[in-house]
Amino acid sequence: RTLRIGLIPGDGIGKEVIPAGRRILEALPASLGLKFEFVNLSAGFETFEQTGTALPDKTVAILKLECDGALFGAVSSPTHPVKGYSSPIVALRKKLDLYANVRPVKTVLGAAKPIDMVIVRENTEDLYVKEERTYDTPEGKVAEAIKRISQRASSRIATIAGEIALRRQKIRAAGNPSIHKGPLVTITHKSNVLSQTDGLFRTTAREALADPRFSSVAVEEQIVDSMVYKLFRQPEAYDVIVAPNLYGDILSDGAAALVGSLGLVPSANVGEGLAIGEPCHGSAPDIMGQGIANPIATLRSAALMLEFLNEEEAAARIYAAVDANLSEGKLLSPDLGGTAKTEEVVADILGRL
């Protein structure tokens, strides 16, 4: 099978870590029968400065028409508002209908407090439809925003959460050690207050997960505020968490803090027929150009992308090579307390692959 993969380094350390993502895909053993074709694509602030747009139409068209998957690095946002500039990753998610943002948060084996969860965030609606308005009243200005929740989006995000729970169970059943026994999906909401919007999310997610396909998946619910409390006290309790856009955004950054460096945490933006792997970190201007960015978030994002292209075996190889590097702990980048350069970490992990 030949997979066509778009490479979008973006800005800052995106340019230093995306090449590592390409190299790990190329280094997968031939016995897996996978071949890759890469297409270099541009997006980001530098692209904006050069061309007047942060997301060229060509990038969108090639991803849509030609690519099976892609790796997206990071983009810098100007600190002051710049006319005409808006975040290309947000636009990409919208234009390509990448409706699920998937973020696994996992410690390496043997960690004192093991964590192994995936946060599945709805990516297309909720407050992020950005329908806001401000108006004057005798008491001063009032601003309001629409929180839109649809049955369609809630159903498909719960369905993919159920599928991820089943896939994780399959991987455990294949003999991979885990802290979890059975598959579990936790539906997150605040329907005690927002009975219509979050209420619709909750009941729709429940219905989707009641499908006989998911009969082995346990389903529970948790109100988002108590979820934060439990996430920090007892993170090992969670397997797959599904949440509307805003709660998912906040929970997934919070959960990333549980495992140390941002340089470790991958994500994927998933739609029909396309998956884009993306490290969770930004362009890290404070360390760019020094060759010390941690490539692991990107390597794991490449593996996560492969999972959604149904190449689970290839993904498992990458995860295992990364975990071996981390558990040995000899060649670590500075964000993890080591002194290794990006290049040395990549070489070590490729060697283990």
Write out the residues near ligand NAI by the rule CB under 6 A.
13, 74-77, 89, 262-263, 281-287, 293-294, 297, 333, 335
Task: Report the residue number, 9 or 248, with the smaller CB distance to Mg ion.
Answer: 248
* Shortest Å distance, C-beta 287 to ligand NAI: 4
284 binds, among ligand NAI, Mg ion, none (CB under 5 to 8 A by kind): ligand NAI
**In terms of residues, how long is the chain?**
353
* Shortest Å distance, C-beta 207 to ligand NAI: 32
* Shortest Å distance, C-beta 248 to Mg ion: 9
The token pair at 10 is 């973006």
Residue nearest to ligand NAI (CB): 282
Output the DSSP codes for 166-232. Answer: HHHHHHHHTT---S-SS-EEEEEE-TTT-TTHHHHHHHHHHHHHTSGGGTTSEEEEEEHHHHHHHHH
Task: Report the residue number, 265 or 306, with the smaller CB distance to Mg ion.
Answer: 265
* Shortest Å distance, C-beta 292 to ligand NAI: 7
* Shortest Å distance, C-beta 182 to ligand NAI: 33
* Shortest Å distance, C-beta 325 to ligand NAI: 14
Residue from 11, 125, 126, 249 binding Mg ion (CB under 5 A): 249
Only segment of 15-23, 200-208, 243-251, 282-290 that touches Mg ion (CB under 5 A): 243-251
131: buried, middle or exposed (CB in 10 Å: 19+, 13-18, 0-12)?
A: exposed
CA 100, CA 102: separation in Å to the nearest integer? 6
249 binds, among Mg ion, ligand NAI, none (CB under 5 to 8 A by kind): Mg ion
If binding is defined by CB under 5 A, does position 126 make contact with Mg ion? Answer: no
Task: Report the residue number, 106 or 281, with the smaller CB distance to ligand NAI.
Answer: 281
Distant-in-sequence, close-in-space partners of 222: CB < 8 Å, separation ≥ 6 = 186, 187, 188, 230
CA 216, CA 132: separation in Å to the nearest integer? 41
> Which residues are near Mg ion by CB under 5 A?
249, 253
